[in-house]
């Protein structure tokens, strides 16, 4: 690998590793950093991630334990769990000898402490433009090179021609990339769909039927749209890959940990036990639920489905939570 990789990926979980595989297959030089160091050393040795056992790291992907190797890249990709992203980057930032052209994060959530989107907290911290790559993708399928599509939302500080070049750089024959300028909308959709996926798992587990699930997803999209538009995002983002597309996948796909979490809680598990059953996988929708409610309250937006999930996380009986939602006053659509 050359001294300076083309892309530095920070976070060697399933998604960060899957993206490294996709780009590495096209000859892109990738430095993949994560923790703990022992896990990265094992990944470098075996060339196989434990959660992606059927895929192998291409030769152009180098797992590294020293973050300065990844920080030398001109493009940074942050693939860390949402709630620790700011903390990790605060520790990495002093180690960077130069600023990259751009940081692209692939995390989906809203910060619980500040109610900010990741671009809002990372841009002033790192003093670099921050974009987001999001859409309906499961890491295992991407790692296996199955066809997928994502949205690359870039800030306006990245000029038009350069934005198209970045789109081309990150696209592959099996990973189609659509370009957007709606960073706000794409981030909010990626976060909010996890809350709705928890609700979808709950509906499934309680045996409420396909009618209820269809109604949930449709009205959930309405909640998403209200929040996105009130905060400056675009309506077309909600009905595109980052919104409707990601919701359809996460609310129905068997790999969705947010949907599985909701199903376990609906089956009588405590939220704590359901989260613990996921092992090292983070159920991003749990923290996002209350963060989204706080954000919505600050701009006067009502999120009834999200309120039900919050009550569920606080220990309310699942049947009572659903009854509370159904008993709301009738409204026009």
Token pair 């990926």: residue: 9
Task: Look up residue 325 and give its two tokens.
Answer: 């939602």
- List phi, psi (to 5°) of 210: -70, -35
Which long-range contacts does 119-123 make (Cβ < 8 Å, 24+ apart)?
Answer: 119/155, 119/183, 119/184, 119/187, 121/85, 121/86, 122/78, 122/85, 122/86, 122/89
Cα within 13 Å of Cα(150), Cβ side: 27
Q: Are the C-beta atoms of residues 131 and 103 closer than 8 Å to each other?
A: yes
State the catalytic residues. Answer: 193
d(CA 43, CA 50): 8
Sign of the torsion formed by the C-alpha atoms of 5, 11, 12 and 17: negative
Helix %, strand %, coil % of the chain (to 5): 55, 10, 35
Q: Are the C-beta atoms of residues 191 and 204 closer than 8 Å to each other?
A: no
Q: Are the C-beta atoms of residues 201 and 247 closer than 8 Å to each other?
A: no
130-134: strand order across its sheet: 61-64, 30-33, 7-10, 75-78, 102-105, 130-134, 148-153, 175-180
């Amino acid at each position: 690998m050359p001294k300076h990789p083309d892309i530095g990926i920070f976070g060697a979980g399933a998604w960060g590793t899957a993206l490294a595989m996709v780009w590495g297959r096209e000859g892109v030089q990738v430095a993949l950093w994560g923790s703990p160091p022992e896990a990265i050393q094992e990944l470098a040795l075996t060339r196989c991630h434990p959660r992606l056992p059927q895929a192998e790291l291409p030769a152009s992907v180098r797992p590294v334990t020293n973050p300065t190797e990844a920080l030398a890249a001109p493009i940074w990709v942050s693939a860390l769990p949402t709630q620790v992203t700011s903390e990790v980057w605060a520790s990495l930032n002093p180690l960077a000898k130069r600023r990259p052209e751009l940081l692209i994060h692939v995390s989906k959530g809203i910060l619980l402490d500040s109610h900010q989107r990741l671009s809002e907290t990372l841009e002033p911290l790192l003093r670099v433009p921050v974009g987001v790559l999001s859409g309906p993708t499961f890491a295992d399928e991407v790692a296996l090179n199955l066809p997928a599509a994502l949205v690359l939302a870039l800030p306006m500080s990245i000029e038009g021609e350069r934005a198209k070049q970045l789109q081309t750089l990150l696209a592959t024959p099996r990973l189609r990339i659509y370009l957007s300028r709606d960073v706000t909308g794409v981030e909010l959709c990626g976060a909010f769909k996890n809350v709705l996926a928890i609700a979808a798992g709950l509906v499934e587990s309680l045996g409420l039927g396909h009618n209820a699930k269809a109604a949930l997803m449709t009205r959930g999209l309405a909640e998403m749209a209200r929040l996105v538009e009130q905060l400056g995002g675009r309506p077309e983002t909600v009905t595109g890959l980052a919104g409707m597309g990601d919701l359809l996948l996460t609310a129905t796909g068997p790999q969705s940990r947010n949907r599985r979490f909701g199903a376990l809680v609906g089956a009588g598990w405590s939220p704590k036990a359901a989260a613990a059953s996921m092992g090292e996988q983070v159920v991003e929708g749990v923290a996002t639920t209350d963060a989204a409610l706080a954000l919505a309250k600050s701009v006067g937006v009502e999120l009834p489905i999200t309120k039900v999930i919050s009550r569920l996380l606080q220990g309310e009986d699942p049947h009572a939570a659903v009854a509370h939602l159904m008993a709301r006053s009738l409204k026009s659509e």
